[in-house]
Amino acid sequence: MFYDEAQITVVAGRGGDGVVSFRRESMVPRGGPDGGNGGRGGDVILIVNRHLNTLSPFRYQRRFVAPDGKPGRGKNQTGRSGKPLYISVPPGTVVRDASTGAVIADLVARDQQAIVARGGRGGRGNAMFATPSNQAPQMAENGAPGETRDLILTLKLIADIGFVGMPNAGKSTLLAALTAAKPKIADYPFTTLQPNLGVAEIDTTRTVVLADIPGLIEGASQGAGLGIEFLKHIERTRVLIHLIDGLSEDPLRDYDTIQKELAAFGHGLIDKPQVLAMSKMDLPDAQAAYDLYCKNNPDSPLRDALPISAATGRNVRALLEQAVRTLDALAPLPDEEPVALEELTPTESEMGFQITREGGGFRIHSPMVLRRVETTRWDLDEATQRFQRFLERSGITAELEARGVKPGDTIYIGEYELEWGE
C-alpha cells in the first residue's frame, strides 16, 4: 500500500549532568574544582534516502528517541555527546509541526538533511562556577532535556514525467510498457488506488522517473473520489503525459474534465507542459475515435495527440522521447539547500511568566523558569540557593508574596512540585 502521510514523535537526547569534583593529588592538598560538563544530547535528523518511495515504515514505528549525553567527570573531562539519530525518509517528504502546521522542512534532494529536534545542552560542572569569592563551589547543573516534537510527514512524489487522465485511460499499462514497474491493471474504474513509480531508460547514461497518477474524476479538486490525494502528487512532476482513452464515449469531455480539475486545484498544475496521447490504438473503435477527434479535426484540442498502443508498442517509445524533449527544454531546477531549525533562543514570551492558582498552591507558567527547574541539582544546597536567587531577580518571589503565598504551599512548575519555605 502507498503510504503518503504519517505522524511521528521525535525526542532529542537529554544533556549529560555536570559533576562536582575536586582535584586530589598527594602534593596538592587543596586542589581546586575540576568537575567537567555534561555532553550535549543527540539531535534528531531527517535524511533523504533515494531508495525509499513510501512512508509505510512509519506505520510500525512512530516514536524516535536520540541518545542522551554522558555526564561530566573529574579532571575537567566533558562527557561524550549523544550521537545524532538519523531517520530516513523518501525524497519529496514535507515535514510540518503537528501543533502549528508550520512547514519545518521540504526534503527533495538526495541526502538532504533537516534537524527536527535539537539535543539538550550538557549541565555545567562545578569548575564553571568557581569565583574569587567561592573557590570551592559545591554546585553543578543537570543536563537540559532535548526537544520533543510531534511531526506530520507528507509525501509528494517526485517524478520527471507523470501520467494523468480519466480512470481506465491506460496509464498503468503504459507505465508497465515503458518501465519494469508492475502496477495492478484491470478493466474497471480506479484499479490504481495509489501512485506507481517506474524508471525508464533513455540511453545507457540516462534514466527518467515516471509516475502513474491514479485516474481523476469530475470534482476531484474538491475532494471527489480520492482526487486531492492524487492531485497533490502532480505538484512535483515537471511534465505531464495526458492520456486520452480511445474507447471513451466522449474524448473531448474527458480532456476538458482533466483540464478543469488541474486548473481548479491550483499550485500551477495547469501550467505544466503536457504531451497528449490517445490510447488503445490496437482496437478499431479507438482508431476511429482518433481519426474523428484528432487526425481529421484541425480545430480540436486533441489534434496533436499521438496515437499509441501500449499493448502492441505502437508509438510508445516515440511518446516517451517527446516527453523527454519537453522535459529537457525546461529550465533546470535550482539546487535544494538543507533546511535546519534555528537555534533555540528565548523569546519575549519565554522570558515572561504568569502565575495562576492551582489547588492549594500556585502554578508558574514560564518556559524560562521550567528550563531552570530542569537543570537545577536539587541535591546540592548551592544549586537550590541559586534557584531561589533567580526567582527573586525575576520578580516571581515578589509576585507570589503579593498573592499571599505561605510556607508549606505547593508551587507547580511543569511536572515539578516545590514546597515554599520560609
pLDDT tens column, 149-202? 999 998 876 678 888 888 877 888 888 888 755 444 334 333 334 566 777 778
Domain ranges of the chain: 1-155, 161-328, 348-419
Lowest-confidence pick of 27-31, 62-66, 345-349: 345-349
Does the CA dihedral 53-55-60-62 come out positive or negative? Answer: positive
Decide: residue 260, CB within 10 A, 0-12 exposed, 13-18 middle, 19+ buried.
middle
Band (pLDDT 50/70/90 cuts) for residue 20 is very high
Eight-class DSSP state of 58 = G
The interaxial angle of helices 171-178 and 316-328, nearest 10 deg, is 90
CATH topology classification for 1-155? Spo0b-associated Gtp-binding Protein; Chain: A, (2.70.210)
Q: List pLDDT tens digits, range 72-131.
A: 998 889 999 999 999 999 888 889 999 888 888 888 777 889 999 999 999 999 999 988
Q: Give 292's Cβ-side CA count (13 Å radius).
A: 13
Given 1.10.260.40, 3.40.630.10, 3.40.50.300, 1.50.10.10, which CATH number is that of 161-328? 3.40.50.300
1-155 and 161-328 share one CATH topology? Answer: no
Q: In Å, how far from its chain's centre is CA 84?
A: 17
Q: What is the mean pLDDT of residues 224-239?
A: 58
Q: How far apart are the C-alpha atoms of 306 and 318, rounded to whole Å? A: 9
Q: How confident is the model at residue 16, as a pLDDT?
A: 94
Which CATH number describes the domain made up of 348-419?
3.30.300.350
List, edge to edge, every strand of the sheet that includes 354-358. Answer: 354-358, 361-365, 410-413, 416-419
**What does the alpha-carbon distance between residue 88 and residue 97 come to, in Å, rounded to a whole number?**
18
Cα torsion angle, 317, 322, 325, 330, sign:
negative
